[in-house]
Amino acid sequence: MAKLEAVTAVLNDWTAPILLVGCGNMAGAILARWLDCGLPPRWVQVADPSGRAVAPGVVVDVRLPERVALGTLVLLGFKPQQFGDVAPGLNASLAPGCAVMSILAGLPVAQLRAALPAAGTIVRMMPNLPVRTGDGTVLTHAAAGGAADMLAAIDRLLAPLGLVEALPDEGDFDLATALSGCGPAYVYRFIDALAGAAMRLGMGEAQARRLALQTVAGAGATALHAMQSPADLADAVASPGGMTRLGLDVLDADEHLLTLLTDTLRAARDRGAELAAASA
């Protein structure tokens, strides 16, 4: 509660129009966080074919507006495969100088610029779902020549979402996305596996899931605020010959865990490159 109270006024004096083109899970999580942090709903418009209501006071239309007002910040929040269909109509409606923030996986800024020449500032982003509670990570790469005022406005919007990590080299985007964009899914799978292992060894399902979830949440919070590295924290818990050390020996044998996660990130990274090639 204290954390939320500390940020409720962050966006309550916001006065620039925001247009969400598409409002799927990720864009919806971003919008919900902004609204929690005081963003007045009257400044938000959503264009989504579903027409589904997203929040009290936020206007939703099934079509793009005929004209996107000067100074609007546009968040692209639909499926990357739909970009070719959406871009012509969006570009035709943009007033000069509108900023575009894209969370479309695999679409580089050069492709965004080529399809949306009417846009001013363009920022490629990759958030992860913990942005909903302000605990997320947002990777960013800004196209050259962005307007300083628009970049400052985008920075202000992103700050309540969590850690904002700028990537000067866009070539790092696929690997960074595999780590932080896809990473929560891998952590969720680990939690599920940790509970499942306890269940296989005889623990009841409800208790195993409860303990696994809290264990990972507590360990993550400790690691986030600790002065030591995660490796040092693990060793500090593991007494020689004790229970923790014997378990770590299984994970560390022949670098099984490191190899598994390297293969996992490589597969996700390479898929990002494939998506970019397919959408070019």
| pLDDT for position 280 | 63
97 pLDDT band, cuts 50/70/90, is confident
- What pLDDT digit, counting tens, does each position of 134-188 carry? 999 999 999 988 999 999 999 999 999 999 999 999 999 999 999 999 999 999 9
How sure is the predictor about 6, in pLDDT bands with cuts at 50, 70 and 90? Answer: very low
Mean pLDDT of 36-62: 95
- Residue-wise pLDDT tens digits, 102-111: 999 889 999 9
Work out the percent of the chain whose per-residue pLDDT is above 70.
96
Q: Set out the domains of the chain in order of their start, with CATH numbers.
A: 2-170 (3.40.50.720), 183-276 (1.10.3730.10)
Q: What is the mean pLDDT of residues 242-268?
A: 95
Going from the C-alpha of 145 to that of each of 108, 114, 117, 120, 157, the distances in angstroms are 16, 14, 13, 8, 20
Owner of token pair 């923790």: 244
CA dist 106 and 117 (Å) reads 19
Which residues are 47's β-sheet partners?
A: 21, 61
Mean pLDDT value of segment 84-93: 95
Containing 18, the helix (H) or strand (E) segment is: strand 18-21
> How does residue 246 score in pLDDT terms, banded at 50, 70 and 90?
very high
DSSP 8-state code for residue 80: G
